């Protein structure tokens, strides 16, 4: 069929919106006019890139952490998405997490633009500009990876999805469309990345490169990004929620892909950030990594979000100048996850709580450092880099203002549940927050989309599930060394000077330690929301979260755990609902039920 070479803006509103595909070209600008000019082609490339969503404060300036057990949001009593989410007021026509961004439409629009770009730039009748060959092939590779990434983001939210390999012609026969199997989805994602990786390596400024410049770190896709997509896609495909009987994506197969991804990045100079900052700059390398505006000085960042996280404004304390709300108060469950400095968990990870409301912690009897009367002492350094807690310093000097979260304190829990300025849990978010940020100047860090630590953890999970914690696994990447799941986790812990995970743990015991480690290392980075779903443990984690209510009498602090129940932990919340209008259209077109279970 002869292509119609015009931009038809309205047909991109939704890939399944059949009626929109009948709109005639409006003649504003032809594709030939675009792809015959360098700047116009770059502009179209940038349109393909713009669907990279910010994983940070995306949901009405609320992080995804507020929608899982990492945090209880201070807007929980205000009409809106947070209250609806906690109350279970959700449907396929009114889903709280899609009120700001309709992900189904958003990512399929991105895929459409990518397919269109690839179709036009490879058509000699349309693309008449003589681009530098390395630059052109680099763009093509980058757009292929973008397309794979957009499919991955859809899969993470909706499960089995239709694969959109090419531009839909006019008219398109929607009766032949189907939701692909998980194996088909991941096969396509990985194969598309492999096509891009087969492209010639770029140089310092153009082509499909391993490294991008400071100005490109939030916009340009690298080869490391492609490997990160492969790693995450394989991990998800092997996970309990997504694994299909007889699929090739066993834990062993996922481990091989995740190991190759990690090894390729290590072989090309990526490494965990470990440099120790000055005491007045940050609490340590982990702290400094997240609260710095750019990742150009490190070799851990693969890709980061395009906007400053603005914790000071959207997750600020009452003593933070210009803060609009307290936002996501870290949960007591998250605080409990941070080990003490001797490497012992605070709670018994096999059964951390003795009651359904999490008010009776089941303490780890082997832990000799934890104190119930001084609970924030001697904790994993990542705790201090992530959470503002009662008695800590607001700034990085001993003379700094203290943060008091006890009732009546300068940052205390308020009895006014309609106030968004005070924590619900007794804690405030510190990660990403530069202590000097306020209305006088925001200097908070950017949230990573992909970083090397995730690739270590992806491999560790797949390897442990496949062969246990201590089996050494190799890849075919030149110069790589065999590594065990325990080795990979210990590399993460070594960065913050935490003791190694001990040898001799059973597979089940190690998996508990691993999941706790992943929770701590990746706190507030979007992963926890998806992890508890793909592990199929949502009902265990999200039905209730707790906080710590502290009363201060004289010099004595009394700690009382408080509980917040939720109604968003049943199985239907494991996946997002398809927009009901789209599910209805596709049911009419194909005769099949497209909606996800429970919606």
Q: What is the CATH number of the domain that holds 147?
A: 1.25.40.890
Task: Please indicate, yes or no, whether residues 554 and 416 belong to a single structural domain of this protein.
Answer: yes
Q: Quick one: 345 and 383 in the same domain?
A: yes
How does residue 406 score in pLDDT terms, banded at 50, 70 and 90? very high
**Residue 114 counted as domain residue:** yes
Q: Are 561 and 573 part of one and the same domain?
A: no
Query: Which pLDDT does position 152 carry in this prediction?
Result: 98
Please give the mean pLDDT across all residues of the chain: 92
Q: Do the domain assignments include residue 457?
A: no
Q: How far apart are CA 457 and CA 521, in angstroms?
A: 9
Reported as a single tens digit per residue, the pLDDT across 351-396 is: 999 999 999 999 999 999 999 999 999 999 999 999 999 999 999 8
Which is more confidently placed, 385 or 168? Answer: 385
pLDDT at residue 15 in the model: 38
Q: Within a 10 A sphere around the Cβ of 234, how many other Cβ atoms?
A: 26
Same-domain pairing of 353 and 341: yes
Q: What is the pLDDT of residue 296?
A: 55
pLDDT at 293: 63
Same domain, 440 and 574: no
According to DSSP, the β-strands at 301-308 and 446-451 are antiparallel
* pLDDT bracket for residue 294 (50, 70, 90): low
- Inform me whether the pLDDT recorded for 544 exceeds 60: yes
What is the SS3 assignment for 388?
strand
Looking at the structure, tell me whether residues 432 and 575 fall in a common domain.
Answer: no
Which comes out higher in pLDDT, residue 102 or 366? Answer: 366
Residues 335 and 367 in one domain: yes
pTM, whole model, 2 decimals? 0.94
More confidently predicted of 100 and 85: 85
Q: Within a domain: residue 458?
A: no
- Does residue 416 surpass a pLDDT of 70? yes
Instruction: Tell me the C-alpha distance between 463 and 68, whole Å.
Output: 26
- Range 239-242, long-range pairs (CB < 8 A, 24+ positions): 239/534, 239/535, 239/536, 240/534, 240/535, 240/536, 241/159, 241/533, 241/534, 241/535, 241/536, 241/574, 242/155, 242/159, 242/182, 242/534
Asked if residue 273 is part of any domain, the answer here is no
For residues 560 and 586, membership in a common domain is answered with: no
Confidence of residue 52 (pLDDT cuts 50, 70, 90): very high
Question: What's residue 60's pLDDT?
Answer: 81
- At residue 397, the pLDDT reads 78
Same-domain check for residues 31 and 85: yes
Residue 287 resides in a domain: no
Residue 26 has pLDDT above 60, yes or no: no
Q: Over the stretch 248-286, which tens digit does the pLDDT of each residue have?
A: 999 999 999 999 999 999 999 999 999 889 988 899 999
The rounded distance, in Å, linking the Cα atoms of 240 and 533 is: 9
Say if 503 falls within a structural domain: no
**pLDDT over 90 percentage in the chain:** 82
Provide the domain count of the chain: 2
pLDDT at 16: 38
173/320 same-domain check: no
Whether residues 599 and 543 fall in one domain: no
Give me the pLDDT at residue 53, please: 83
pLDDT score for 25? 39
CA distances, 354 to each of 330, 331, 361, 550, 566 (Å):
21, 17, 6, 21, 19
Q: Judge whether 129 lies within some domain.
A: yes
Q: Work out the percent of the chain whose per-residue pLDDT is above 70.
A: 94
Cβ–Cβ under 8 Å, residues 230 and 186: no
Same structural domain, 559 and 574: no
Structural domain range at position 586: 1-56+77-181+569-599
Residue 294 covered by a domain = no
């Amino acid at each position: 069929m002869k292509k119609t070479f015009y931009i038809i803006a309205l047909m991109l509103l939704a890939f399944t919106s059949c009626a929109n595909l009948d709109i005639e070209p409006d003649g504003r600008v032809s594709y030939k006019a675009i792809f015959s000019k360098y700047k116009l082609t770059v502009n179209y490339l940038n349109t393909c890139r713009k669907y990279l969503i910010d994983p940070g404060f995306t949901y009405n300036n609320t992080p995804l952490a507020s929608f899982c057990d990492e945090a209880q949001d201070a807007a929980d009593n205000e009409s809106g998405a947070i209250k609806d989410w906690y109350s279970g007021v959700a449907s396929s026509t009114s889903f709280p997490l899609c009120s700001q961004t309709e992900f189904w439409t958003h990512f399929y629009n991105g895929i459409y633009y990518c397919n269109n770009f690839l179709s036009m730039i490879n058509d000699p009748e349309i693309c008449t500009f003589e681009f530098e060959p390395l630059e052109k092939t680099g763009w093509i590779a980058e757009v292929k990876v973008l397309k794979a990434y957009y499919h991955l983001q859809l899969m993470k939210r909706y499960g089995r999805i239709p694969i959109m390999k090419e531009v839909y012609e006019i008219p398109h026969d929607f009766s032949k469309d189907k939701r692909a199997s998980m194996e088909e989805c991941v096969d396509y994602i990985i194969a598309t990345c492999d096509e891009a990786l087969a492209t010639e390596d770029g140089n310092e400024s153009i082509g499909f490169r391993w490294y991008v410049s400071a100005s490109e770190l939030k916009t340009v896709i690298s080869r490391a990004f492609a490997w990160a997509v492969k790693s995450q896609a394989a991990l998800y495909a092997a996970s309990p929620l997504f694994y299909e009987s007889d699929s090739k994506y066993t834990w062993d197969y996922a481990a091989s892909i995740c190991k190759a991804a990690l090894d390729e990045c290590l072989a090309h100079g990526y490494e965990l950030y470990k440099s120790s900052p000055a005491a007045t700059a940050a609490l340590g390398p982990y702290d400094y990594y997240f609260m710095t505006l750019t990742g150009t000085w490190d070799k851990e960042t693969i890709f980061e979000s395009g906007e400053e996280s603005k914790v000071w404004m959207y997750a600020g304390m009452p003593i933070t100048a210009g803060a609009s709300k307290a936002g996501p108060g870290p949960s007591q469950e998250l605080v409990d996850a941070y080990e003490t400095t001797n490497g012992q968990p605070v709670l018994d990870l096999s059964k951390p709580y003795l009651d359904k409301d999490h008010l009776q912690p089941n303490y780890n009897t082997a832990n000799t450092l934890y104190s119930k009367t001084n609970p924030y002492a001697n904790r994993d350094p990542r705790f201090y880099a992530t959470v503002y807690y009662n008695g800590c310093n607001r700034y990085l000097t001993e003379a700094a203002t203290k943060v008091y979260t006890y009732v009546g304190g300068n940052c205390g829990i308020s009895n006014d549940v309609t106030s968004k300025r005070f924590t619900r849990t007794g804690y405030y978010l510190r990660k990403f927050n530069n202590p000097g940020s306020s209305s006088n100047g925001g200097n908070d860090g950017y949230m990573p989309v992909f970083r090397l630590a995730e690739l270590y953890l992806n491999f560790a999970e797949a390897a442990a599930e496949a062969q246990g914690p201590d089996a050494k696994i190799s890849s075919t990447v030149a110069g790589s060394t065999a590594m065990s799941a325990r080795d990979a986790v210990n590399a993460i812990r070594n960065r913050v000077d935490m003791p190694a995970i001990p040898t001799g743990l059973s597979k089940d015991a190690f998996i508990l330690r691993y999941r706790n480690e992943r929770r701590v290392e990746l706190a507030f980075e979007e992963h926890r929301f998806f992890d508890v779903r793909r592990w199929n443990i949502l009902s265990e984690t999200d039905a209730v979260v707790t906080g710590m209510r502290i009363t201060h009498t004289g010099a004595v602090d009394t700690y009382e755990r408080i509980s917040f129940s939720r109604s968003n932990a049943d199985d239907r919340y494991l996946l997002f609902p398809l927009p009901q209008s789209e599910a209805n259209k596709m049911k009419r077109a194909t005769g099949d039920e497209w909606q996800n279970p429970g919606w």
